[in-house]
Amino acid sequence: TEQPHLTPTQVFICEHINWGGQCEHKYRPTGTSDGDCTVLDGEASSIGPDKGWTCLFYTNAFCRALAGDGSDVLQVEYPGIGDLGRADKGGWNDRARSYWCVR
C-alpha cells in the first residue's frame, strides 16, 4: 500500500501572473505534518499543483491558519491560479509564504 506522505507532488510556481517570469517546479512529500510544510519566498504570482492534488497556501512560513476568518489560507487545485491577485479570496499576489498538499 502506498503511503501518502511518501508520495511526492509537484507544484509549478511563477513569479509573475499568467505563468510568466522565473518559474520552478517544486517536488515535495505530501501531508500535513510540520515536516511536510514547504516554505516559499513570498514572490509567487501563479501557482499550479499536479492534477489530483489539493494544496493549501498560507501567508506565514509555518503552514498554519492564524486569522479567524480564514483569510490567511488559500486552497488551490489543478490547474492552478494564473493570477493570484484575482484568486477567490483576492489579494494573494506575492503573499504565499508556505504550503502543503494532500490527495
- pLDDT tens digits along 2-56: 455 567 889 999 999 999 999 999 988 777 777 889 999 999 999 999 999 999 9
Query: What pLDDT is attached to residue 6?
Result: 61
DSSP state at residue 68: T
Query: What pLDDT is attached to residue 36?
Result: 85
Q: Which residues pair with 19 in a beta bridge?
A: none
Residue type, 47: I
Q: How far apart are CA 60 and CA 78, in angstroms?
A: 22
Residue type, 58: Y
Average pLDDT over residues 57-73: 95
Residue 1 pLDDT greater than 50, yes or no: no
Burial of 71 from C-beta contacts in 10 A (0-12 / 13-18 / 19+) = middle
Structural domains of the chain, count: 1
Instruction: Give the CATH number for residue 22.
Output: 2.60.20.10
Query: What pLDDT is attached to residue 11?
Result: 96
Q: Which domain holds residue 45?
A: 4-102
Residue 19 phi, psi (nearest 5): 65, 35
